[in-house]
Amino acid sequence: MDQPELQSTQPGAPERVAHIKSHMHQIARRQWWLWSTAILVTLLLTVGIASFAFPGLLEQTKDAYALNLNLALRGLVGLVLIFNVYTIYQQLQIHRIQMDLSKQVETLGRVEERTEEVYKLAVLDSLTGLYNRRSGELRLGEEIARSQRHARPLTVLLLDINALKAVNDTLGHPAGDEVIKQFAERLQKAIRGSDVAVRLGGDEFMVVLPECKPDEVHLVLGRLTGKKIEFDDHSIDLRFAAGWTDYIPGESVETLLKRADAALYVNKRAGKQNFEANARVT
């Protein structure tokens, strides 16, 4: 089945945020190690230089060369100390920036999660996870445009679960919801990856079948026929009606769905599930 974008193979928003944060922590650890090593080296250098200069300072040598050397050593020690202070200051600034960036990444992650939730509510059917009616009709419009552009066949299949009201009346609405959910799951498994499954509402479903051969519709229906659904201690026969039609170049989404619905009505009126040729309206 052609899944919505949020079900693609690319990592989701939480995974991307976690990946970024992991890299940030690695950078922070490396920076601390680098600067700690630099500070240690400079401190050792300072101690070494001071050890050479200290005896001369104690002797109060009057020699001009020794005096200049002492002044140079003092200046070097001062520069090293200033460098260490500057290094620590910069490291603190980098750490502050990283903390701010971490907070921004967390905020971004929450925003993307909420965007994904809104997307699901707007595009997907909450019970089955299939496309809802509005998004399904938009996808059908896209497939119609593609069919016209490339002169390729397109078939629309409508399905209607039989006796769902009787299931709700006898076993309750949770049983009816389970019938709908399991039917949707089996429908997804029965179609190709390029096909689009839609829950129109209630017990009605639509499947958009690009480049579908006539016998392929029967293959889909054959994978759904004769199934049972187990709910508590009850076994429910999964029965449904189906009707399908081929797209005629130039017609609208509404016209195509109307003809497919007429095909479904023919099958429901006949009261059979053998899906003979009269279930297709051309």
CA distances from residue 139 to 76, 125, 209 in whole angstroms, order as listed = 73, 14, 11
pLDDT surpassing 60 at residue 267: yes
Contact 176/164 with Cβ under 8 angstroms?
yes
Instruction: Give pairs for 91-100: CB < 8 Å, separation 24+.
Output: 91/31, 91/32, 91/35, 94/31, 95/28, 98/24, 98/27, 98/28
Q: Residue 161's pLDDT is what? A: 93
Find out whether 128 and 181 touch, Cβ atoms under 8 Å. Answer: yes
Compute the distance between CA of residue 134 and CA of residue 131 in angstroms, rounded to an integer.
8
User: From CA 99, how far away is CA 101, in angstroms rounded?
Assistant: 5
CA pseudo-torsion sign 163, 165, 166, 171:
positive
pLDDT digits (tens, 9 = 90+) for 129-143: 999 999 999 999 999
Other beta carbons less than 10 A from residue 267's beta carbon: 24
**For the chain, what are the domain ranges?**
5-123, 133-281
DSSP percent split of the chain into helix, strand, coil, nearest 5: 65, 15, 20
Contact 259, 245 (CB under 8 A): yes
What residues act catalytically? Answer: 203
Pick from 229, 223, 222, 190: which is nearest to 207 by CA? 190
Say which residue, 11 or 278, is predicted with more confidence: 11
Predicted confidence at residue 94, as pLDDT, reads: 72
CATH superfamily of 133-281: Reverse transcriptase/Diguanylate cyclase domain (3.30.70.270)
In Å, the largest CA–CA distance within the chain is: 121
Digit-coded pLDDT (tens) for 198-255: 999 999 999 999 998 877 899 999 998 888 888 888 888 888 999 999 999 999 999 9
> Which two structure tokens, joined as six digits, stand for 18?
């976690």
pTM over 0.75, yes/no? no
Instruction: Give the integer Cα–Cα distance in Å for 276 and 218.
Output: 9
Q: Say how many C-beta atoms besides its own lie within 10 A of residue 188's C-beta.
A: 16
pLDDT tens track for 23-37: 667 667 666 776 676
Q: Which among 265, 269, 277, 270 has a CA at the least distance from the CA of 218? A: 277
